[in-house]
Amino acid sequence: MSNGRSLLQQEQWRIIDQSSLGPMFGALESFAMDDTLCTSVGAGNSDPTARSWVHHDTIVLGIQDTKLPLLQEALDDLEQQGLNYIVRNSGGLAVVLDSGVLNLSLIFPDTEKGIDINRGYDAMLQLVQEMFKDFSVTIEAKEIIHSYCPGSYDLSISDQKFAGISQRRIRNGVAVQIYLCVNGSGSERANRIKQLYHLGLARQSTKFVFPDIKPEVMASLSELLQVELSIQDVMLRFLTTLKSFSKDIYSQNLQEDELILYQNYYQRVVERNEKVLYNK
């Protein structure tokens, strides 16, 4: 894990906390934020940056999910449940975001040799392990096959998944992103995605492989640790842990030049989202 440690150990960490902006803060804004920060950090105009964010009642689809044979029926069902949905610009499949899910992004400059893709994942794994080291549990990174959006860096305790990690690389910047199911029911979230695939596939054949979801393999940290955690509790653990890897952490919102970048990236993700969803 020494490689992961070296990525976490930065002279300074810039913090952008968007975990309490509320329901009006949309997921597309988050993807534009991370693209902006990748560009800024990659150009050397910003220190490495850690961003925290929460989105309410949102299903984030992967590109492959838009290939579901009966996608519209599945999307109509989400709307009837009062859920928002968007298609993300990084890899992976559908995930659930709600008020009990904390998302964290670590944005690093890519080095001349390039940050090995596993090195970014290892840094996030180590961060989460450190955040919860006072609990006598083992946090593992391995694929939980019957979870939603399964991947080799699913984070689990006793084979129950509570987090998934993805990466985005743009303009010499690397964003390593994680969703942490902090509280609420992991199996209920899994049931939502199971229903999405049930309606979207409707037993029709497709060349794409979608997860065979078994809700019992997913849980929240509150369920797994048997203690009621809030988003604020985990935010405190996050900031305290990050500070232990750095000489200084400081809070700073987007600067003037970054705001211009952000507007461009936001327009781009909105247009791309509409194109993928509606101009099939």
Domain ranges for the chain, please list them: 2-278
Quick: pLDDT tens for 39-78. 999 999 999 999 999 999 999 999 999 999 999 999 999 9
| pLDDT given for residue 118 in this prediction | 84
Measured CA to CA, the distance from residue 147 to residue 218 in angstroms comes to 6
| pLDDT given for residue 223 in this prediction | 98
| pLDDT given for residue 2 in this prediction | 41
Average pLDDT rounded to a whole number, residues 206-216: 92
Secondary structure class of 178 (helix, strand, coil): strand
Q: Which CATH class is domain 2-278?
A: alpha beta
Measured CA to CA, the distance from residue 206 to residue 280 in angstroms comes to 16
Average pLDDT rounded to a whole number, residues 233-254: 96
Q: Determine if the pTM surpasses 0.85.
A: yes
Of the pLDDT bands very low, low, confident and very high (cuts 50, 70, 90), residue 150 is: very high
Tell me the two tokens of residue 212. Answer: 């065979």
Question: Residue 149 catalytic?
Answer: yes
Of the pLDDT bands very low, low, confident and very high (cuts 50, 70, 90), residue 114 is: low
> Helix-strand-coil percent breakdown of the chain, rounded to 5?
40, 25, 35
| pLDDT given for residue 88 in this prediction | 85
Which of 141, 149, 199, 217 is catalytic? The answer is: 149
Measured CA to CA, the distance from residue 181 to residue 188 in angstroms comes to 12
Has residue 4 got a pLDDT over 70?
Answer: no
Assess contact for 163 and 155: CB atoms under 8 A. yes
